[in-house]
Chains A and B, each alone.
Chain A
Amino acid sequence: MYQRKLEECLKRVQKPARYIGNEFNSIHKEWTSDKMSVAFCFPDVYEVGMSHLGMKILYHMLNEREDTICERVFAPWDDMEQEMRKERIPLLSMESAKPVRDFDMIAFTLQYEMSYSNIVNMLDLAGVPLRAAEREREDAFVYCGGPCAYHAEPLADIVDFLVLGEGEEMNSELMDVYKVWKDSGKPREEYLMEIAKIQGVYVPSFYDVTYHEDGTIKSFSPNREGIPQKVKKRIIKDMDNTYIPEKLIVPFMETVHDRIMLELFRGCIRGCRFCQAGYIYRPVRERSVEKLLEVAQNSINATGYEEMSMASLSTSDYTKLFPLTDGLLAMTVDKKINLSLPSLRVDNFSMELMEKVQKVKKSGLTFAPEAGTQRLRDVINKNVLEEDLMRTAKIAFQGGYNRIKLYFMLGLPTETDADVLGIGELAQKVIDAFYEIPKEERKGRSISVTVSTSFFVPKPFTPFQWEPQNKIADMEAKAKMLKDSITNNKIVYNWHNSDVSFLEEVFAKGDRRLGEVLITAQKLGCKFDGWTDFFDYDKWMEAFQIHGIDPAFYAHRRMDHNEILPWDYADIGVSKEFLIEEHERAYRGETTPSCRDACMGCGAAQFGGGVCFE
């Protein structure tokens, strides 16, 4: 019914291909009254959402169910949103252009905090009541999953429930319960009571929070019988025997990650202390080479993609990387398919591996030492030695690379001026290493090093979760100091906006009092906060002020180890005691071995699988 109006809008917007759907392998089911429907929403624009592996898995998996229709929804870009609001077109699904508010379930994936305003904006555009308490029996259930669901208290009053952990099994279980509830005539609360029994489901309205006078949490407890104090996450124990989509949707327009993404394993053995993913996805669970080769071959056949990447947190830690790359190259080279290897660690980089990946196409190399000095790298447990980086860089230069990107963070705990300046010095050493190689052995004539820094955002479920973030002015002073110290024009220095990092910290560590701030911010026009063209710091500050909330309380306050944290509702398997030990080890400058070198007893072994039992 909105098709005609929508089409006219498409003639007036940029990149209409964002909204057309009908891509190869998209699933178009017949709408019948016996089917349940899920609107799977990604709170960002199409080309970002279509790059996300998790969405692909759940979309195809839910559609495997005969009784369920799952359709995709993305945030319309500003030009399209304006057209839609003008023409009174509500938010629609891609596959059948059905209003999102008519679906049974509205699921959002939470990939980063800066998409929260888009969730509110999309609900508003859909015409769905913004607060869970305002929704009635016939309204859709709004829920969220993804990494931020472990600390999504700012969304507590907006969503009906959150799902913690890996969703392959959980999402299907939600549908099973819905099927029974749908025609039962029972109130919404009954459905929520029923799913609260499923491991991984957190229903925020079933918990009460009280606060101390200083604003910290006094108590957090279930407000009814049979609801657990903490919700344990879900994981897939056996990565070979779980749903892996192969008939992936092939977009018309270019997306951010426009390729087959082969997920080698989940989790990371390393335990870098700043990295949330390194803790929440524990324990590490690998797929077998046989399974991966089978998935790769089927995906190539079903999509026709010209590129495949190995997507995991630290790809080179895959235990059978060489047999796998050999197998993958055998099926890709003849077909002119590029194989790309992201997330390389400098300590186990080798010439052989480099030659393998550049067989088809050579690209620049990226490394992330994260900190400028060994002292600080030890604090953050980034076990990369300067010698490793230099050795790797030399191998790369001899192999013909002459563009190197280095990633760092500013504002890490215990950081001093020497650590900041160390970043520039390290970049200079990489350049020196290039000129140390005899001319005839290096293929490129010149070298360029790009240094990028982002500002550290202490995240929940890391040993640094209690740490305050640097103040905006301090972060900027550090970036300026580093910039001024770099005089070699072969080094290009980029840094990210600090206002966004501040807000990211506020919402990463925020509690449910921020829900109303979010709703107000959306009314003031906040959206696409991850995009510099849209991020409006002043509007956000206005929203905080309206509700009498000081954002610095969340970002700049050192939290006590004994404090009740807003994200204590989630049990990721890794214990708080372990995180405290790691926090203390960081201050002593002690490193922690990887999961494969020694078990430190983090708690993830309770899931009974993965690296803990290798």
Chain B
Amino acid sequence: MSVVIEARDVTFAFGQTPALRGASVAVDAGEILAIMGPSGSGKSTLLHCLAGILVPDSGEILFDGIRVHAMAETQRSSLRRDRFGFVFQFGQLVPELTAVENVALPLLLSGVRRSQALPKARAWFARLGLDGLEHRRSGELSGGQAQRVALARGLVAEPQVLFADEPTGALDSLTGEQVMDLLVGTAREQGTTVILVTHEPRIAAYADREVMVRDGRVNAPDRIAS
């Protein structure tokens, strides 16, 4: 396995408050990694740095040979749109759009024609057990349904890396496990690398490996690519 994405000795502070103090982690292609840690440990900040949402104060973020930390915002925005997928705790679906339009959104933003994007998005509804919900808006979906729509949106553009920040945090245990089962199953089918932030051990147990973040550092032994 080769490393596809990596943080090297990353620091980041919100104003005067340090969130990361030299965090390093390397993730193999196709690997599902859980980042665990208590509230305020810096685990979400580490995910945001890896995903190019935040720029580290120091250290490096490397994705597929690209120095993400050194890219301009417009380049990082393209990278996020074209190569990464995202699922957050609260689906964050666009309320004005139907479910199928929400799923198609990453394709539409990448310039795929609507006539091609919508059928591709529709195919995900059967795959994730969402048949018949294509034209509902987010307010008409249950929490579990909305999160499965968000998962479809995260995976529709076949990203190399899917970033999932507490993707089951707002769901009950059974629904959360159903979402994780689908997330892991589809990611493995597609060979997608998944970086999953969670504080729940039962959710982390779906991953191939876990690391612990404490006080802004990655505590568990981890491999750094040479």
A binds B: no
